[in-house]
Every structure is written in C-alpha cells, then in structure tokens.
Amino acid sequence: MATIELRDVEKIFGDNHAVKPMNLTIKDGEFICLLGPSGCGKTTTLRMISGLEAVTSGTILLDGRNVTWRHPSDRDIAFVFQLYALYPHMTVRDNISFPLRAEGMKREEIDIRIGEVVDILRIHHLLKYKPGKLSGGDQQRVALARALVRRPSAFLMDEPLGALDAELRETMRAEIKALHHAQNATTVYVTHDQIEAMALSDRIVVMSAAEVQQVGTPAEVYYEPANLFVARFIGSPGMNLIDGQLDGDLIRFPGNDSTMAVPAHFRVPLLAALDKGDDVVVGFRPEAAAISDDSTMAGEVYAVDMHGGYKLLHVNLGTATDPVIVHLRADRLASHPMGSSLRFTADPAMLRFFDPKTGRAISPSETAPVQTQPVEVTA
Ligand SMILES: Nc1ncnc2c1ncn2[C@@H]1O[C@H](COP(=O)(O)OP(=O)(O)O)[C@@H](O)[C@H]1O
Ligand SMILES: [Mg+2]
C-alpha cells in the first residue's frame, strides 16, 4: 500500500517553468486525477513521481520514505503509458509475465499471478496471440494486465485511454474503476478529459499553466470551484458566469433590468470582499437554474439544444455576458421558441460569487453553529 506526498515539487526546463511548487498528499488507496489542458504540467508531475524525470527542487515521499533521488525501479510503482508499448514479437502471455520473469519469479507463482489478472480483465482467450492481432482496447487491457501483475503499491497512468475511440473509452473507464475497486492500489491518473476525471476520481487535482488550481472531490470542483478557471473548465457546458455589480443586498446586471438578491450566507462575505458598485461574477450550474414567471431575472431565448432526456436553453441577458444556459428536464419540454422572453431563477444554495479582479471565488460564511451547551456561570 502507498501514500504519495509531494512537498514543494517543481520542475523547470531551461526557462520554462513546467510545474510550479506543488504540494499534494495522496492517501493510501486513493484514485487521484491530474486534470488540465495540454501543456499544464500533468505528465511532468507524473514522471517526477515515477522517477523518470528528476525534480528541480522539492521532495517526494512514498509511505513516508524520501524517494526523491531513488531510481524508478526502486519506487515500487507501475507506470502505464498512453501507448500500448507491448513487445510485438511476444505472445500476450509472455508480455504479461515479462516483468515477473525479469525478476526471476518461479513458474508456478507466475501462473497464479497471470490467472488473477486475466480473470479481472477477462482476457483468457487472448493469451496465445501476439499484440498485432488484437484490437486497440484489448491491447490496452494487456498493457494494464502487465502493470497489475506486479501488484505494485501504486499506479501511475498517463492518458491511458487517450488513443481509443469514445465508446471504447467509456467501457475501459468502467473497467479501470472496477479494477481499482478490486485492488485498491493508490492511483494517479492523468487526463485532459474532465468527464473522465469526474467519473473515476476520489479527488481531482485541477491544473492550469503549471499550477494547481484546486484539489477536491468531483462534487467540490463541480459545485464549489475555487476560481473562474475551474468554473469554466469543469462541466460541459461549464458554469454560467454573469458579470454583475454589487448594490447592497442586490446584484445588478449592466444593460439589463434583471436583479438578483444576494443570499443570506453571502451577504457578509461579499460586503467584506467588495465595495458598492464593484464588479462581481455570479456563477451557477445550468441545472441550478429553473424557469419561474415571477423571477427578477429575465432574458431572451437565443438558442435551444435538444438532448433527448433534457434540453439546454441559451438565454441572452442582453449584456456583454455569454448567454445563460438553463437545463430543463424532459418533463419541462414545453415550447420555448427562439426569441421569446423567459424569466428564470438560480437556486440560492447553488450560487457562487467570484471577484473578477483575482478570479477567485468568494467563500460563503459558515452557518452559525446552534448553541446547545448551557452557558457556564462562575460565581
Ligand atoms: N523534456 C522536456 N524538455 C523541455 N520542456 C518540456 C519537456 N517535457 C515537457 N516540457 C514542457 O513542460 C510543459 C508541461 O508539459 P507536460 O507536463 O507534458 O504537460 P501536459 O502533460 O499537461 O500536457 C510544457 O510547456 C512542455 O512543453
Ligand atoms: Mg501529457
């Protein structure tokens, strides 16, 4: 079993700061995704954990042991690359057993290990073939089997499904999840696909421009994004973000008569962070919006995307802001013709507010704890 700890780990290539000092503790058995756009430093981070890339500075601990300068083979970690990298001249069985044979493991023990992984991945029927005969998905299963057979304490996977088509990616995603459930090995998984990260992770590390933007559970990064980057990057479509101005207990939207009441749990934090008339970005997920005829928020239906079970209404507020997207369930398929006007609300419990000067979310105030202890009176 393994915990992985990064302390101020950074990487500089020449004058390119590929990973800015990063701190992260990955718990034993945890499935963590490093998620972010191309070039943000995900692969470099993974390679530093594996030992394939030396850190520029910082410390990497595995189970509390400092392995920063240990050789990759001394780290007890398996690395599954995006490309299958199977040996084309060997059968699937020999490919899978290769790391064990290299260690000098006994034949009987190897057979037991192969039996286990072949069961998990349902690839018995492939053992006698050479990789060239297999489909992309089966090659990827064999690559996974070869990593699993070593029973490593941790897995590092770099976009392992990146080369597969969408349907196969979905199947393999479910298999990786089932594998993790069965083995419970600590896993660090790199992807630029936020849907994949949401589906697989216990926690997601959202990265952009060589920096960690937020670390949180899928629900936390989705509902409580730490900044505007995360709000836009997570979710498809991303969070609705409307430019407004603070006016006491109201948000006004320039160029539009709509107003929104500041929810009670945001009153004090907004007044503390902003001055009257300051710009503020209001954020809410499309499914946090609902049609409501007596709402103070109004716009014009600009486009309608039909998705079968639901539809997305794009509502133009007539301001510089992108249209607000309202998610409607199938039972709300009442007609909303393009160009018609629409009143909608956003669930106050699902609202987020961002300071456009910093891009950071403004945290709500904690609900005051109810006093249940009797007050002690000293004589
Ligand atoms: N071996 C290398 N030499 C120089 N620059 C590199 C090297 N590897 C990666 N980089 C640079 O480091 C940055 C992060 O790259 P990478 O970790 O591969 O990003 P990601 O995996 O998120 O797409 C990029 O700007 C990339 O060009
Ligand atoms: Mg990469």
| Per-residue model confidence as pLDDT tens digits over 355-374 | 999 999 999 987 644 444 44
Nearest-atom number in ligand 1 for the CA of 19 is 14
Nearest-atom number in ligand 1 for the CA of 158 is 21
Which of 16, 45, 194, 207 is the pocket-test mutation for ligand 1 (most atoms within 8 Å of CB)? Answer: 16
Ligand 1 atom 16: residue of nearest CA? 41
In CATH, what class is 4-229? alpha beta
Spatial separation of the C-alpha atoms in residues 316 and 26, rounded to whole Å: 43
Whether this model's pTM surpasses 0.95: no
Q: Ligand 1 within 6 A of 172 CB?
A: no
Q: 220 C-alpha to center of ligand 2: Å? A: 24
Q: Say which residues have a Cβ less than 8 Å from residue 372's Cβ, sequence separation at least 6.
A: none
Specify the CATH number of the domain 238-362. Answer: 2.40.50.140
Q: 47 C-alpha to center of ligand 1: Å? A: 10
Mean pLDDT of 16-28: 97
Spatial separation of the C-alpha atoms in residues 236 and 234, rounded to whole Å: 7
Q: Ligand 1 within 6 A of 361 CB?
A: no
The pLDDT tens digits of the residues spanning 193-203 come to 999 999 999 99
> Is it the case that residue 180 has pLDDT exceeding 80?
yes
Domain ranges of the chain: 4-229, 238-362
Of residues 6, 30, 19, the one with CA closest to residue 217: 30
Taking the CB of residue 157, how many other CB atoms lie within 10 A of it? 23
> Taking all residues of the chain, what is their mean pLDDT, rounded to a whole number?
90
Q: Which ligand is nearest to the CA of 48?
A: 1
| 137 neighbors 99 (Cβ within 8 angstroms) | no
Q: Ligand 1 within 6 A of 42 CB?
A: yes
Of residues 170, 324, 343, the one with CA closest to residue 237: 324
Placement of tokens 């290539």 in the chain: 13
> Is it the case that residue 106 has pLDDT exceeding 80?
yes
Nearest-atom number in ligand 1 for the CA of 37 is 22
CB burial class (10 A; 0-12, 13-18, 19+) of residue 226? Answer: buried
Q: What is the pLDDT of residue 76?
A: 78
Which of 11, 13, 157, 192 is the pocket-test mutation for ligand 1 (most atoms within 8 Å of CB)? Answer: 13
Q: Ligand 1 within 6 A of 39 CB?
A: yes
